[in-house]
């Protein structure tokens, strides 16, 4: 028997297991998936926990409930990938050989990368990128009397680049409508980018929200360190931003396993062909989701579209055929803007988010780059789609892995030639 080994049973790994189990010849291939944790988290839901919209039960399931029959699941940590020997060594020193390896080890926050963060961690410095952080922040906000709340991005790239924006917009709504103490809260958004978001048209739309919602936007702020004692962020060019409560997005890095195995770049992301999803170093290693270094958003929607492409390419690889399926960088993200409204953006490597309708051209029901109530309902409905369709590898009708140009206002758009 030959083996396809998947490392990581998060969003991307689980989807790959579900896709491949239906497609490969079981008499020839064994599919094994390894993950060290029991729980699967619906990570987009973490955003809602600090504001009491979701609780833990909405975002947690057992991994074993989400993996298909016919796939071997091993709950263990991974010590090392020995790419030359085509084998992986587990934490208990057991060796697993493979013919094809799929790296789906994701990314994680590393608070210690910014000096001083550890000193104030979970006292007046919080994150919402982990379940523990989101819950701790909910408890903090419950009794918080008000003051200056700063939302801060340490360094790009980060998982779900719109999440910090959503957080600050929801905070405005939360303090106004739920806590009724918005007057006692000063909101401030600090980013290393030169605008509110990485994509220009979208940044232009979102920039208007800051004065409307009375949120201070501080751009081009590259953090040097945090002074936890006097509660301030200090930039490399010696600017300072004080805070009473800091919600930081720590540096995001790939798994330390990637560094130990000498397969990553400076942030432990694996150099990957952005179209075929094959690793650049080894032809029998493929990479999907947040673990790659490709210039696409680190987001579940991206992993979902990648999974369809990667399944095709792995089947081609098995059959000694050229890898013809090509990922176009397609991402699709709801952006919660508070007050039960949201925007939706749909874009790829070449085409930035523009206005239009989605998924049906001219019909919708969702509006692109526009704030609507239906978009918000879509975001909430998405949790069910995630658990019941996305993870199981069931395609969403009318939503293809390739981004559709129909239904989008593309006139006069500069195409991003860099990517």
Footprint on this chain of another protein (rule: CB under 8 A): 155-157, 161, 193-194, 198, 220, 222, 224, 236-237, 265-267, 271, 293, 295-298, 349, 416, 418-419
Residue recorded with tokens 């019909």: 363
Compare residues 324 and 419 and give the one whose CB is closer to another protein. 419
Do 209 and 371 contact (CB within 8 A), yes or no? Answer: no
Nearest distance, CB of residue 200 and another protein, angstroms: 10
CA distances from 342 to 167, 194, 376 (A): 12, 23, 5
Instruction: Give the gyration radius of the chain's Cα atoms.
Output: 21
Nearest distance, CB of residue 419 and another protein, angstroms: 5
Compare residues 28 and 238 and give the one whose CB is closer to another protein. 238
Nearest distance, CB of residue 90 and another protein, angstroms: 29
Query: Which residues does residue 29 pair with via DSSP β-bridges, in sequence order?
Result: 2
What tokens does 331 get? 């991402």
Dihedral angle over CA of 122, 127, 133, 134, nearest 10: 130
Nearest distance, CB of residue 78 and another protein, angstroms: 24
Do 128 and 47 contact (CB within 8 A), yes or no? Answer: yes
Under 8 Å CB-to-CB from 295, ≥6 apart: which residues?
A: 274, 329, 349, 419
Compare residues 156 and 363 and give the one whose CB is closer to another protein. 156
Please tell me the distance from the alpha carbon of residue 259 to that of residue 382, in angstroms, as a whole number.
34
Compare residues 186 and 402 and give the one whose CB is closer to another protein. 402
Nearest distance, CB of residue 337 and another protein, angstroms: 20
Compare residues 271 and 361 and give the one whose CB is closer to another protein. 271
SS3 265: coil
Do 50 and 141 contact (CB within 8 A), yes or no? Answer: yes
Nearest distance, CB of residue 94 and another protein, angstroms: 33
Compare residues 49 and 153 and give the one whose CB is closer to another protein. 153
Compare residues 234 and 390 and give the one whose CB is closer to another protein. 234
What tokens does 114 get? 């910014």
Do 44 and 386 contact (CB within 8 A), yes or no? Answer: yes
Nearest distance, CB of residue 195 and another protein, angstroms: 10
Nearest distance, CB of residue 253 and another protein, angstroms: 10
Do 205 and 345 contact (CB within 8 A), yes or no? Answer: no
Task: From 224, 233, 130, select the one nearest 189 (Cα to Cα).
Answer: 233
Compare residues 5 and 234 and give the one whose CB is closer to another protein. 234
């Amino acid at each position: 028997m030959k083996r396809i080994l998947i490392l990581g049973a998060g969003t991307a790994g689980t989807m790959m297991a579900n896709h491949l189990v239906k497609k490969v010849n079981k008499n020839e291939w064994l599919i094994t998936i390894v993950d060290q944790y029991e729980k699967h988290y619906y990570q987009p839901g973490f955003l809602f926990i600090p504001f009491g919209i979701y609780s833990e039960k909405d975002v947690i399931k057992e991994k074993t409930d989400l993996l298909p029959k016919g796939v071997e699941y091993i709950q263990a940590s991974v010590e090392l990938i020995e790419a030359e020997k085509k084998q992986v060594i587990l934490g208990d020193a057991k060796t697993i050989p493979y013919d094809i390896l799929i790296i789906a080890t994701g990314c994680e926050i590393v608070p210690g990368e910014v000096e001083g963060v550890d000193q104030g961690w979970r006292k007046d410095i919080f994150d919402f990128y982990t379940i523990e952080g989101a819950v701790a922040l909910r408890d903090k906000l419950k009794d918080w009397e008000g003051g200056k709340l700063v939302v801060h991005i340490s360094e790009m790239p980060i998982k779900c680049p719109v999440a910090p924006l959503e957080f600050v917009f929801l905070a405005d709504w939360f303090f106004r409508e739920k806590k009724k103490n918005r007057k006692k809260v000063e909101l401030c958004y600090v980013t290393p980018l030169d605008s509110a978001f990485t994509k220009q048209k979208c940044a232009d739309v979102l920039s208007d929200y800051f004065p409307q919602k009375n949120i201070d936007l501080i751009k081009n702020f590259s953090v040097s360190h945090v002074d936890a004692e006097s509660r301030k962020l200090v930039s490399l060019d010696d600017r300072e931003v004080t805070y009473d409560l800091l919600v930081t997005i720590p540096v995001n890095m790939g798994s330390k396993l990637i560094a130990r195995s000498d397969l990553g770049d400076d942030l432990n992301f694996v150099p990957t062909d952005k179209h075929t999803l094959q690793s650049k170093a080894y032809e029998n290693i493929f990479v999907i989701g947040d673990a790659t270094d490709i210039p696409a958003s680190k987001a579940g929607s991206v992993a979902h579209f990648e999974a369809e492409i990667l399944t095709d390419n792995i089947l081609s690889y098995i059959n000694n055929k050229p890898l013809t399926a090509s990922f176009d960088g397609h991402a699709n993200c709801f952006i919660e803007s508070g007050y039960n409204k949201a925007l939706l953006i749909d874009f790829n490597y070449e085409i930035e988010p523009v206005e239009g309708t989605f998924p049906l051209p001219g019909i919708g029901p969702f509006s692109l780059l526009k704030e609507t109530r239906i978009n918000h309902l879509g975001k909430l409905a998405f949790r069910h789609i995630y658990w019941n369709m996305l993870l199981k590898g069931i395609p969403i009708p009318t939503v293809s892995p390739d981004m559709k140009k129909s239904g989008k206002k593309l006139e006069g758009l500069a195409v991003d030639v860099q990517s």
